[in-house]
């Protein structure tokens, strides 16, 4: 009997602490959205960020997300410098809210992209695929907020040492180019949280408010979503690619081309050709020849579903509709709030 009373008292205390912590976390909710380090850093209502994706993230998508209270990002990786400038200028015309540009640091015209970003006074830059030390200082000298995308706690620490303002930790579930560590988001976020003190944004496998809640519980202060925003009218991706995304089921995406740069894509004839070549022991040169040029453009922008490279994340399996980007932001945010109020299944 004494044990039963002790157990009840202990359990009551633990739940009391749990609900006390929950009530404190609820204080971050404001009339204008949410107040934490990510929303303050980017000056946005909700800690929901749209990934800067090639052949998808133009000015229409970025401005729609920013107007809805998230952070829209223009994906510069598939843009020539003059095209990037045009998208930045049109985005500024379409929204008075903050937006960003994502710049892959290995891009051949990176110096021209950086110059345009500075000239056009873009307030926020997300960098990826390269050493953050290369451009972070120059961007911050211009008053630009800098975030960098990583796939490991080791590189997150290097980003913090390089002076970035925030880190995006992207798990193995994500679409497109992936880290070689093959660490899932569930494992990656707590590891990165323990490694750095600057704001942390979770990415990879996130398309719902429930997933957002889980990432925040693991230590993230915001989420970045890519695949969910591909399936919107504002995304510049080809309609056939969007339909392939919403038709995808579990197991329909896979990471391939590991001898080159690992990339997650939808299985199709191109993937099968790569698989056959790798099974025969194809060299790096042979795989490069098979990949050719503009394979991603063929698939995602031009709609060659059979032979193009269809980069998308595992979470495509639960994306079943194409709806406006603003609606995506609102739906994710409302589900996040509802999950905060009732996080457990009854």
pLDDT, position 27: 67
In the chain, where are the structural domains located?
A: 33-236+322-341, 239-316
pTM of the full predicted structure? 0.90
Say if residue 111's pLDDT is above 90.
yes
Do the strands 222-225 and 200-203 form a parallel or antiparallel pair, or are they unpaired? parallel
Other Cβ atoms closer than 10 A to 282? 16
Q: What percent of the chain has pLDDT over 70?
A: 92
Averaged pLDDT, 149-167 = 97
pLDDT, position 163: 97
Report residue 291's pLDDT band, with 50, 70 and 90 as the boundaries: confident
CATH class of 33-236+322-341: alpha beta
Per-residue model confidence as pLDDT tens digits over 88-102: 999 999 999 999 999
Per-residue model confidence as pLDDT tens digits over 25-79: 666 888 778 999 999 999 999 999 999 998 999 999 999 999 999 999 999 988 9
| Average pLDDT in the chain | 90
Averaged pLDDT, 185-192 = 97
* Ranges of H-type helices in the chain: 2-26, 37-42, 59-67, 81-94, 110-119, 136-141, 153-162, 185-195, 209-217, 227-230, 239-247, 269-279, 284-291, 295-296, 325-341
Instruction: Give bridge partners of residue 75 from the DSSP assignment.
Output: 102
């Amino acid at each position: 009997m004494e044990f039963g009373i002790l157990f009840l008292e202990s359990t009551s205390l633990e739940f009391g602490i749990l609900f006390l912590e929950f009530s404190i976390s609820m204080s971050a909710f404001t009339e204008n959205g949410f107040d934490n380090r990510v929303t303050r850093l980017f000056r946005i209502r909700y800690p929901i960020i749209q990934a800067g994706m090639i052949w998808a993230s133009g000015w229409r998508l970025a401005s729609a997300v920013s107007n809805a209270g998230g952070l829209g990002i223009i994906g510069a990786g598939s843009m020539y410098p003059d095209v990037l400038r045009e998208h930045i200028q049109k985005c500024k015309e379409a929204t008075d809210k903050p937006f960003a540009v994502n710049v892959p640091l290995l891009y051949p015209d990176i110096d021209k992209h950086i110059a345009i970003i500075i000239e056009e006074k873009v307030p926020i830059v997300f960098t990826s695929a390269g050493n953050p030390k290369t451009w972070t200082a120059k961007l911050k000298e211009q008053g630009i907020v800098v975030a960098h995308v990583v796939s490991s706690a080791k590189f997150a620490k290097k980003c913090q040492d390089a002076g970035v303002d925030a880190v995006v930790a992207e798990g193995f579930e994500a679409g497109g180019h992936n880290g070689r560590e093959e660490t899932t988001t569930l494992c990656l976020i707590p590891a990165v949280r323990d490694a750095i003190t600057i704001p942390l944004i979770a990415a990879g496998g996130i398309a719902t408010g429930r997933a957002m809640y889980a990432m925040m519980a693991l230590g993230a202060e915001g989420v970045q979503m890519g695949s969910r925003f591909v399936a919107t009218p504002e995304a510049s991706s080809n309609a056939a690619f969007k339909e392939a995304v919403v038709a995808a089921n579990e197991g329909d995406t896979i990471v391939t081309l590991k001898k080159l740069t690992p990339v997650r894509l939808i299985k199709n004839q191109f993937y099968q050709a790569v698989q056959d070549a790798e099974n025969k022991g194809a060299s790096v040169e042979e795989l490069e020849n098979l990949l050719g040029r503009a394979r991603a453009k063929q698939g995602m922008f031009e709609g060659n579903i059979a032979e193009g490279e269809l980069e998308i994340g595992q979470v495509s399996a639960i994306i079943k509709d194409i709806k406006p980007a603003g609606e995506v932001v609102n739906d994710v945010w409302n589900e996040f709030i509802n999950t905060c109020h009732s996080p457990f299944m009854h």
